[in-house]
């Protein structure tokens, strides 16, 4: 019996590693914002904050895994968060109110990742990427329906679990941000934190 459990443990530790070559990756995420600063909203020189509800994100990437642990990939992504509250002021006045609508970002990124090779099924990874994102804000109450194309960047890390030689599950964290978008004269930050779950399929 003892030998049986030793054999099981060795099988798990010596499980399949993700193969070198082309792969496709598909992911979904729980996306949330920190409170975002906005400026020059309605009144030049005004300052305020925008609070957003938690939202979602999806990504799809085509990449290549190299023998040295590096991976390079091209990725499309979409994230959307509902608007919650806006506050701000100018010239000694201050207001706070509920708002409707949403903020979204459609992105195209080029990523470089590194896999830490292990002897088992689990493979930790880290990565970064740059690209562009079209940030859109829509709100009937604020009379906003506009978009702005911006430079985008991201950092990610997590772990993959190999189910077979060609299929693995992954989970991790990703910070995605852009340079400050300008929406109908208002400038603000765009930065999301994303908890992800995805599937990677090797060819």
Residue 3's pLDDT is: 53
pLDDT of residue 40: 55
What is d(CA 108, CA 106) in angstroms, rounded to the nearest whole number?
7
Give the residues of the chain that fall short of pLDDT 50.
4, 6-17, 42-44, 90-93
Tell me how many degrees the CA angle 51-55-60 measures, rounded to the nearest 5.
135
Phi, psi of 108 (to 5 degrees): -125, 120
pLDDT digits (tens, 9 = 90+) for 89-141: 544 445 566 777 888 999 999 999 999 988 889 999 999 999 999 999 888 87
Bridge partners (DSSP) of residue 136 are 104, 147
Structure-token pair, residue 128: 């970064």
pLDDT at 43: 44
Determine phi and psi for 7, rounding to 5 degrees: -65, -40
pLDDT of residue 11: 40
User: What structural domains does the chain harbor?
Assistant: 2-89+97-202 (2.40.160.20)
């Amino acid at each position: 019996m003892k030998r049986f459990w030793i054999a099981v443990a060795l099988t798990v530790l010596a499980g399949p590693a993700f193969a070198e070559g082309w792969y496709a990756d598909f992911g979904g995420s729980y996306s949330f914002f920190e409170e975002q600063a906005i400026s020059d909203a309605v009144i030049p020189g005004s300052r305020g904050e925008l609070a957003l509800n938690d939202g979602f994100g999806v990504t799809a990437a085509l990449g290549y895994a190299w023998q040295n642990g590096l991976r390079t990939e091209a990725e499309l992504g979409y994230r959307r968060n509902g608007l919650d509250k806006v506050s701000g002021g100018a010239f000694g006045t201050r207001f706070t109110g509920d708002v409707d609508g949403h903020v979204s970002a459609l992105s195209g990124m080029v990523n470089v990742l590194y896999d830490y090779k292990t002897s088992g099924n689990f493979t930790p990874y880290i990565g970064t990427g740059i690209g562009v994102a079209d940030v859109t804000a829509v709100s009937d109450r604020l009379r906003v329906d506009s978009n702005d194309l911006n430079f985008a960047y991201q950092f990610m890390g997590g772990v993959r679990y190999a189910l077979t030689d060609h299929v693995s599950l992954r989970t991790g964290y990703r910070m995605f941000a852009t340079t400050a978008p300008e929406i109908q004269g208002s400038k603000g930050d765009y930065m999301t934190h994303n908890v992800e779950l995805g599937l990677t399929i090797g060819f």
